[in-house]
Amino acid sequence: MHIHILGICGTFMGGVALLARANGHKVTGQDANVYPPMSTQLEEQGIDLISGFDSQPIKEFSPDVVVIGNALSRGNPAVEYVLENNIAYTSGAQWLSENILANRWVMAVAGTHGKTTTASMLAWILQYAGLEPGFLIGGVPENFGLSARNGNEPFFVVEADEYDTAFFDKRSKFVHYHPRTVVLNNLEFDHADIFEDLAAIKKQFHHFVRTIPGKGLIIHPSDDIAIDDVLSMGCWSEKEAYSKTNTIGWSVKLLADSSSVEADGSKFEVYWNGDLQGIVQWELIGQHNVDNAIVAIAAARHAGVPAKYAIDALAEFKNVKRRLEVRGVVNGVTVYDDFAHHPTAIATTLDGLRKKVGAEQRIFAILEPRSNTMKMQIHNTVLPDALAKADKVFLYLPGDYATKFDDTIEMLGEKCQAFYDMNLMRQAILSDAHSSDHLLIMSNGGFEGIHQKLLDELK
């Protein structure tokens, strides 16, 4: 079967492409925005990518089915050609559900933050235990080097996104997955382009909860009010809670590592009902990654992996590309790439890095606020607090971004500089940076390749 994917370079759709190819299908695709790591991954797998959404490739290929990503809408030339010519089409989530997840033990990781990292941890723990899971993750876990694979039955780990499915299916993608093990990491307002308010997101999360069987398991934090609200709407499955303080359920205790200025999350004890299960000592930092780890350990336990083996596995976990990924160190200046684009993620990433490097070393927060929610100015008043632990802030605001963050810039004061030209911003960063500085680059896009450009210019 020939499957043609519109929006193939999205993290989710790229994973669908890999799974389809692994199942023997011919796969081609189109996208408008092509950048690593997904474009590189697809090219390495021999999948043909066509730039743009002209209808001609579909006409030439005559595919059996077109899988349409949720970034595409009516008026797109390729979409209009599919509809006009009565070509079979489906969404990525529906294709995944029908062709990959049927008859699998689906382990789904949902929440506003940490989905990619937690799903990667869970998949690695199962791999370490010899279970060879399948997975589809919205990033590239470095332990695997791929964002998706079929794996062996029964287990399949999926990053469960609340974003809508397609222009013709406005349900959240995760309602298609029918999981048996579920992690609800956290819940905040996001995706303001499709959700009116937090209540609308809670409703979708409860639709998701309704799909979990009675003998399934929901793992959740004990102190997240929004998730408590979702579960109070009705829950028919077993639950396990994670708390930073209680002795009932899962809990942790941070320990100071000898190489850290303070307890930064690189070493911590794991407890189940007050009983010590072991100590995680790993490469990652930050309370958010500790939180991700404990729920991954809990989910793996539901699949039959004892906590001890999960803890051993995490010692060898290599994180995900673009999650505080060190892109290079030149003349004592460290350049990081991070996917953070929501104030909570920005704050937790900065907090972890600050605890690691201490107060004396400078952190430059270099941010491209390009998400739809950011551009709608939803987070303007809380963004300054999220950036509080940075010594300097550089905002990249090209084109229609220019005037949307004036109040944020004013609240940040002298520590903030805004730029509408990439070259001018790089020059400003380079003229100020010196040995022992940390350049934390944050964006959910390619950021015009600023990471490598800075590294080259620092030489």
pTM beyond 0.85: the answer is no
- 103-314: CATH topology is UDP-N-acetylmuramoyl-L-alanine:D-glutamate ligase (3.40.1190)
Given a cut of 70, is residue 426 above it in pLDDT? Answer: yes
Can you give the pLDDT at residue 445?
80
Half-sphere exposure of 142 (CA within 13 A, CB side): 14
Can you give the pLDDT at residue 44?
84
Domains of the chain, by residue range, sit at 2-92, 103-314, 325-458
Question: What DSSP string runs through 298-361?
Answer: HHHHHTT--HHHHHHHHTT---BTTSSEEEEEETTEEEEEE---SHHHHHHHHHHHHHHH-SSS
If you average pLDDT over every residue of the chain, what do you get?
91
Give 3-state DSSP helix, strand, coil % of the chain, rounded to 5. Answer: 35, 25, 40
Can you give the pLDDT at residue 65?
98
Measured N-to-C along each axis, helices 450-458 and 422-432 cross at an angle, to the nearest 10 degrees, of 40
In the chain, pLDDT over 70 holds for what percent of residues? 97
- Where does the pLDDT of residue 402 fall: very low under 50, low under 70, confident under 90, or very high at 90 and above? low
Can you give the pLDDT at residue 258?
65
At 365-377, the pLDDT tens digits run 999 987 777 776 7
Whole-angstrom Cα distance, residue 434 to residue 453? Answer: 16
Whole-angstrom Cα distance, residue 169 to residue 94? Answer: 10
Whole-angstrom Cα distance, residue 141 to residue 146? Answer: 7
Report which residue type is found at 66: V
H/E/C letters for each residue in 375-416? Answer: HCCCCCCCHHHHCCCCCEEEEECCHHHCCCCHHHHHHHHHHE
Can you give the pLDDT at residue 36?
67
Q: What are the CA-CA distances from residue 350 to residues 293, 338, 454 (Å)?
A: 19, 10, 20
- Where does the pLDDT of residue 246 fall: very low under 50, low under 70, confident under 90, or very high at 90 and above? confident
Whole-angstrom Cα distance, residue 94 to residue 69? Answer: 11
Can you give the pLDDT at residue 456?
94
- Where does the pLDDT of residue 259 fall: very low under 50, low under 70, confident under 90, or very high at 90 and above? low
DSSP at 447 = G
Report which residue type is found at 50: I
Which of these, 126, 108, 31, lies nearest to 69 by C-alpha position? Answer: 31
Given a cut of 80, is residue 280 above it in pLDDT? Answer: yes
Weakest mean pLDDT among 64-73, 91-100, 195-204, 306-315: 195-204
At 211-227, the pLDDT tens digits run 999 999 999 999 899 99
Whole-angstrom Cα distance, residue 21 to residue 13? Answer: 12
Alpha-carbon torsion (366, 318, 459, 361), positive or negative:
positive
- Do β-strands 89-91 and 65-68 pair in parallel, antiparallel, or remain unpaired? parallel
Can you give the pLDDT at residue 333?
96
Contact present, 444 and 370 (Cβ < 8 Å): yes
- 2-92: CATH topology is Rossmann fold (3.40.50)
Which of these, 356, 334, 340, lies nearest to 437 by C-alpha position? Answer: 334
Which of these, 201, 206, 211, lies nearest to 181 by C-alpha position? Answer: 211
Q: Which helix (H) or strand (E) holds 221?
A: strand 217-221
- Where does the pLDDT of residue 304 fall: very low under 50, low under 70, confident under 90, or very high at 90 and above? very high
Whole-angstrom Cα distance, residue 392 to residue 383? Answer: 14
Can you give the pLDDT at residue 261?
61
Weakest mean pLDDT among 35-39, 76-80, 125-129, 144-148: 35-39
Cis bond upstream, residue 384 (ω within 30): no
Q: How many CB atoms lie within 10 A of CB 102?
A: 10
* Residue carrying structure tokens 């939803």: 378
**Torsions phi, psi for 107 (to 5 deg):** -115, 110
Whole-angstrom Cα distance, residue 159 to residue 109? Answer: 5
At 181-191, the pLDDT tens digits run 999 998 988 87
Q: What are the CA-CA distances from residue 176 to residues 164, 207, 210 (Å)?
A: 11, 10, 12
> What CATH homologous superfamily does 325-458 map to?
Mur ligase, C-terminal domain (3.90.190.20)
